[in-house]
Structure 1
Amino acid sequence: MSVELSYAAGPTDTPLLEETIGAAFERIADLHADREALVDIASGHRWTWAQLDAAVDDIARGLLASGIKKGDRVGIWAPNCPEWTMTQFATAKIGAILVTVNPAYRTHEFAYAVHQSGMRLLVSATHFKTSDYRAMVDSTRADCPTLERVVYLDSEDWAALIDEGRSLPSPAIAERMSTLSATDPINIQYTSGTTGFPKGATLSHRNILNNGYFVTDTIDFTEQDRLCIPVPFYHCFGMVMGNLGCVTHGSTMVIPAPGFDPAVTLQTIQDERCTGVYGVPTMFIAMLAHPDFASFDLSSLRTGIMAGAPCPVEVMKRCITDMHMDEVSIAYGMTETSPVSTQTRGDDDLERRTATIGRVGPHLEIKIVDPLTDETLPRGETGEFCTRGYSVMLGYWEDEAKTAEAIDHEGWMHTGDLAQMRDDGYCVVVGRIKDMVIRGGENIYPREIEEFFYAHPDIEDVQVIGVPDERLGEELCAWIRMREGTEPLDEVSVREYAEGKLAHYKIPRYVKIVDDFPMTVTGKIRKAEMRESSAREYGLA
């Protein structure tokens, strides 16, 4: 009997979009001119597709008047706002490569992104929360010789940029668009590596336009849908799955706030009658845990996507039952793959939609390989998740060595994630290669243990990491956030709960009760930081 290998290819019946982002945007704007395209809750402003297209063109002409050429890098450093979305499409229309800068960056990281990308012009907020962007730009300007101009939002700079473009002849944008190709680079996103400097994943029109289209096509988006987007635009989740997903279907983009706020997000879903909402698991956990959750009318919801980190089974079940998201989807991917590689479907049964990351997307291939030999493994075995197809980035900006490490000679992107492919083609991520804990020779996948403790009635959230141990090499440490009004657990109570249900070596030796976890702006848990902190606290080498 032959062994079925961990390989799958997605359907190809729906053709790829072989057009630039600007061309797709204009096609949809013409088709749905009078329908609502963008809603910004903070300012109360609304745009139809025709109005949004006109606003985008105003910015595009301003950039052209500033001397921005095809392939020039234009940065944006701001929280979610309508100008962010407009700048995204304005740069796409003129072929400028948009460098999306993490709003949480400080001077060192910002200066690196500007210098490494060769950024010529920056669109920036003046401030947000504790970030004084103007002061940070001023303090690093001398170290950024390529940066010729900074345009601050909510200042005279923004109006001046638009005014400059009014002198250009009307065909200027169309003339520039005629020189562009779908395979041109259009976006650089810096990945938050745990070691060394971030790497600039370089993505083309074809990469991200198609991923946005197919991700939202998989959740049956149409021009009737209204998507609440609380995830940050600077990351693929917001700008590709969110903005480009809506644009390719004529759906309405709804910005609830500059940064995530659970109450505002819930209020926005209710007031705007949103049919979908995106979020990383921590966002859904925060919304479900809000003390006034039951008072919000979320009956308009039917779908959404949970992604960006492993999705706890219990949280997904509550999204379906308590948030009316019967067609909610789990999506899996990474910035380097535009981002989504696998996704659950709306008609999947509850088990598939809560226990897996779905199956391969259209026009893509996936496989699970032995991390040491690169051989494709039989289904059911744990190995590294790899993907190939239209979604794989062009490479890391000006870093051929790092690109070659990530993308092999056959075009496969090696993700660094440990996964299994089931007999039905659905995949399960069991952790990162670097997060796997080896305790006394036993390979332990923290995800399995986290899922077990999510079922504890007093635990709201849990993260499991490996910490150094002289005798066994590594031991397990659980960081636990308790539900409001419950008594904190300790090592003894955790062991009592797990004994007889988990193998002894999977029961955490250390238990740390916390209010929050260290995380990135996109909601990804910083496990490396947790390991360092725990090792110091417990006096481990």
Structure 2
Amino acid sequence: MTATQAAPTPTAHSWPPGLPRSLEYPEVPVGSILRAAVRRWGDRTAFVDHDVSLTFTELGARAHAVANWLADHGVGRGDVVAVHIPNCRQYPAVYYGVLLAGATFSPTNPLLPAADLAAQLTDAGARVLVTWDQVLPFVRSALAQTPVETVVVTGEAHTLDLAARLELEGGDVDLADLLAGDPTDRHLDAGIDPAGDLAHLAYTGGTTGVSKGVELPHRAVVTNVLQSACWSSGSLPVLDEAGDVTLRQVAGPDDYPTRLGEARLVNLTPWFHAMGVIGYLNGMVMGGTMTVIHMRFDPVRYVEDAIRYRVTSIGGAPPVFVALLQVPGFLEADWSTVRGVSSGAAPLPVSLIERLQAVLPNAVIGEGYGLTEVTMQATGNPVFRSGTRRAGTVGVPVFDTEISIQPLGGGAPLPPGERGEVCIRGPQVMRGYARRPEATAEAIDADGWFHTGDVGVLDEDGYLAIVDRTKDMLLYKGYNVFPRELEEILFGITGVAGAAVVGRPDEEAGELPVAYVVRKADDAGAALTAESVMAAVNDKVTPYKRLRDVVFIDAIPVSAAGKVLKRELAARERTAVGGD
């Protein structure tokens, strides 16, 4: 059985009221999103960084200035510009400037090791690199064997003053030169083919292996921004008077109390990540949201700014929420303005959902699911107030998206209630992996289904639960052990702040389930022992799933996007037993 957006039943009110199952997606380039937002939101604040604001009008002018500089220096359609900077006030102008010039945006994690950075720049064929002044020495060592011709440099000085000048060596270009250029909209992207020309060349997170370039045409990016924005705001896509894409909010304030142009949030989801650039950059610009930028996660500062700016929503990955709940004063603060909590990047433990709901009683907690290969979002729990949200699930497929659960070894789709590989089909699915036809053919089958590598199960009403990654699954004496099942139990133990389960190589059993646990900084955390944790878990599972050891650790390693880096923990286990 293939599950699509099944009609709501008496037990599951899953679909946004007044919205169709299918949307009409305008054939426009990504730059159209910015043009419409500038026209609609004008002098409202778009972004705030270190208490310095940027209006939508100024964002538009700066983005066109970047686009015009690039065009004047021969960068345009088909050229790749790699952006190797953290979240900052100048990032949106760089992002939209690249796309308005007709070039392709290739986001790069600023924390990549030099060899990985060089490999990504080479694989992408990047002609221009926009980088951060503090990492310039490191970057230079990576550039020699890459196709990069121009290095544009920015830094914290530009965050505070877009006209600030940097001290640079000969040959490097100051981003201030780009930002101060001609702000005229020359419509450089007028010749873009939304279906064929790449907007993003985004690289997979690489948490389980070699990162691959994901090809996302303008059509896929615009489509997924609309899927996400319409789902979260109860809106429909419309074209403004100039033919640019924006939203018309059709659902009422009872279900969507935060109206377009009223949302305020603190964002630390990296813009080099799919959830960041689609949901927390494009989605925020389209919806007229005021976004307070945090370059890195400081839980105390996050809470201070969230209170000061009276945010209407809180978003991030599960480790963010775990940390926020431990900030002194968080439980006692006034969170009455918070109407929504949005989680992604990794499954949200049920016990964590319950703790958040207790502190944020006015908030709808909406967990979604997606991957870089589907631009960003594929499913979402209903965020409208009267909707049915099912804890432990990532909701139902969004507009025009199908989910199929297929056997791990191949075969016919499975019925509701059975575990298998999550497969996705929809207009937001990538074109393919850059220059990797075999990998593309392996990931996208002949019927258009993208095989995610995630293990999931659909219920009778079409709600999807993610069980685990196929690559995280352990094999104990021939039995499949899914770490997420054990992690759910671990998160429910008093005194546990974080947890991850990996396999320890064993000649006889294959792999032994081992838990890495972070204690809370309180009496309950101090009282935890390996024996007490194992007993609390093993009493609740069948014998082959039982933990064989517990290792206490100061922090669970996570990527900048909030995904647990189990490969690092697994490597520790291999080393401990004398493996490679």
User: Shared fold (TM-score greater than 0.5)?
Assistant: yes
Q: What is aligned with 1:130?
A: none
User: Runs in 1 of length 4+ with deviation above 6 angstroms?
Assistant: 348-351
Q: How far apart, in 2, do the equivalents of 1:208 and 1:422 lie?
A: 29
Judge conservation of contact 2:62–2:179 (CA < 8 Å) in 1: no
- Determine whether 1:178 maps to 2:185: no
Structure 2 counterpart SS, 1:245? helix
Residues 469 and 375 of structure 1: is their aligned pair in 2 closer, same or farther, counting only changes over 3 Å? same
Aligned Cα RMSD in Å? 2.1
Structure 2 counterpart SS, 1:315? helix
Q: How far apart, in 1, do the equivalents of 2:288 and 2:390 lie?
A: 26
Equivalent residue for 1:214, pick from 213, 221, 227? 227
- Determine whether 1:45 maps to 2:82: no
Cα drift, residue 351 of structure 1: 8.1
- Determine whether 1:519 maps to 2:558: yes
Judge conservation of contact 1:304–1:325 (CA < 8 Å) in 2: no
Q: How far apart, in 2, do the equivalents of 1:196 and 1:310 lie?
A: 20
Equivalent residue for 1:455, pick from 470, 474, 492? 492
Q: What is aligned with 2:329?
A: 292
Q: State the Cα deviation string for residues 309-367 of structure 1 (Å, max 9, x = none).
A: 11111212222221346212101111111111111012478984421011001011110
Q: TM-score, normalised by structure 2?
A: 0.86
Q: What is aligned with 1:150?
A: 151
Correspondence 1:112-191 to 2 at 5 A: 112-127=119-134, 133-144=135-146, 146-154=147-155, 155-156=165-166, 157-163=174-180, 165-166=181-182, 170=184, 173-174=186-187, 176-183=188-195, 184-191=197-204
Q: What is aligned with 2:245?
A: none
Cα drift, residue 195 of structure 1: 5.9
Cα drift, residue 211 of structure 1: 1.7
Judge conservation of contact 1:465–1:476 (CA < 8 Å) in 2: yes
- Determine whether 1:334 maps to 2:371: yes
Structure 2 counterpart SS, 1:82? coil
Judge conservation of contact 2:340–2:364 (CA < 8 Å) in 1: yes
Aligned-partner residue type, residue 546 of structure 2:
I
Q: What is aligned with 2:3?
A: 7
Q: What is aligned with 1:30?
A: 39
Judge conservation of contact 2:503–2:573 (CA < 8 Å) in 1: no
Q: What is aligned with 1:497?
A: 536
Residues 462 and 137 of structure 1: is their aligned pair in 2 closer, same or farther, counting only changes over 3 Å? closer
Q: How far apart, in 2, do the equivalents of 1:439 and 1:17 lie?
A: 50
Q: What is aligned with 2:103?
A: 96
Q: What is aligned with 1:58?
A: 65
Aligned-partner residue type, residue 405 of structure 2:
I
Equivalent residue for 2:415, pick from 378, 387, 410? 378
Aligned-partner residue type, residue 322 of structure 1:
V
Q: What is aligned with 2:319?
A: 282
- Determine whether 1:264 maps to 2:301: yes
Q: How far apart, in 1, do the equivalents of 2:288 and 2:380 lie?
A: 21
Residues 454 and 137 of structure 1: is their aligned pair in 2 closer, same or farther, counting only changes over 3 Å? closer
Q: State the Cα deviation string for residues 153-191 of structure 1 (Å, max 9, x = none).
A: 14441222345x43x9x46x21x2211132221111111
- Determine whether 1:200 maps to 2:213: yes
Q: How far apart, in 2, do the equivalents of 1:297 and 1:538 lie?
A: 50
Cα drift, residue 13 of structure 1: 4.1
Aligned-partner residue type, residue 571 of structure 2:
E
Structure 2 counterpart SS, 1:316? helix
Point out the more displaced range, 220-229 or 362-371. Answer: 220-229
Structure 2 counterpart SS, 1:238? helix
Judge conservation of contact 2:208–2:567 (CA < 8 Å) in 1: no
Aligned-partner residue type, residue 549 of structure 2:
Y
Structure 2 counterpart SS, 1:385? strand
- Determine whether 1:301 maps to 2:338: yes
Q: How far apart, in 2, do the equivalents of 1:404 and 1:186 lie?
A: 22
Q: What is aligned with 1:229?
A: 267
Cα drift, residue 81 of structure 1: 0.3
Aligned-partner residue type, residue 273 of structure 2:
H
Cα drift, residue 536 of structure 1: 2.7
Q: How far apart, in 2, do the equivalents of 1:507 and 1:391 lie?
A: 39
Q: What is aligned with 2:94?
A: 87
Q: How far apart, in 1, do the equivalents of 2:123 and 2:275 lie?
A: 23
Correspondence 1:234-253 to 2 at 5 A: 234-253=272-291
Q: How far apart, in 2, do the equivalents of 1:445 and 1:111 lie?
A: 35
Correspondence 1:425-440 to 2 at 5 A: 425-440=462-477
Judge conservation of contact 1:69–1:96 (CA < 8 Å) in 2: yes
Cα drift, residue 446 of structure 1: 1.1
Q: How far apart, in 1, do the equivalents of 2:385 and 2:261 lie?
A: 24
Q: How far apart, in 2, do the equivalents of 1:216 and 1:304 lie?
A: 15
Judge conservation of contact 1:469–1:540 (CA < 8 Å) in 2: no
Judge conservation of contact 1:38–1:48 (CA < 8 Å) in 2: yes
- Determine whether 1:67 maps to 2:74: yes
Judge conservation of contact 1:491–1:508 (CA < 8 Å) in 2: no
Cα drift, residue 226 of structure 1: 1.7
Q: How far apart, in 2, do the equivalents of 1:449 and 1:312 lie?
A: 11
Judge conservation of contact 1:419–1:431 (CA < 8 Å) in 2: yes
- Determine whether 1:424 maps to 2:482: no
Number of aligned positions between the proteins: 523
Judge conservation of contact 1:219–1:303 (CA < 8 Å) in 2: no
Q: TM-score, normalised by structure 1?
A: 0.92
Q: How far apart, in 2, do the equivalents of 1:260 and 1:77 lie?
A: 18
Q: State the Cα deviation string for residues 209-247 of structure 1 (Å, max 9, x = none).
A: 222232233222622112321111110111111111112
Structure 1 counterpart SS, 2:493? coil
Cα drift, residue 500 of structure 1: 3.8
Q: How far apart, in 2, do the equivalents of 1:138 and 1:501 lie?
A: 53
Judge conservation of contact 1:75–1:99 (CA < 8 Å) in 2: yes
Judge conservation of contact 1:227–1:246 (CA < 8 Å) in 2: no
Question: Tell me, which stretches of 5 or more residues in structure 1 are unaligned?
Answer: 128-132
Q: How far apart, in 1, do the equivalents of 2:435 and 2:577 lie?
A: 42
Judge conservation of contact 1:482–1:488 (CA < 8 Å) in 2: no
Judge conservation of contact 2:400–2:427 (CA < 8 Å) in 1: yes
Aligned-partner residue type, residue 194 of structure 2:
A
Q: Which has the larger share of helix?
A: 1
Cα drift, residue 495 of structure 1: 3.5
Q: How far apart, in 1, do the equivalents of 2:440 and 2:289 lie?
A: 35
Aligned-partner residue type, residue 200 of structure 1:
G
Q: What is aligned with 2:15?
A: none
Q: How far apart, in 2, do the equivalents of 1:518 and 1:92 lie?
A: 34
Q: What is aligned with 2:424?
A: 387
Residues 209 and 252 of structure 1: is their aligned pair in 2 closer, same or farther, counting only changes over 3 Å? farther
Judge conservation of contact 2:425–2:449 (CA < 8 Å) in 1: yes
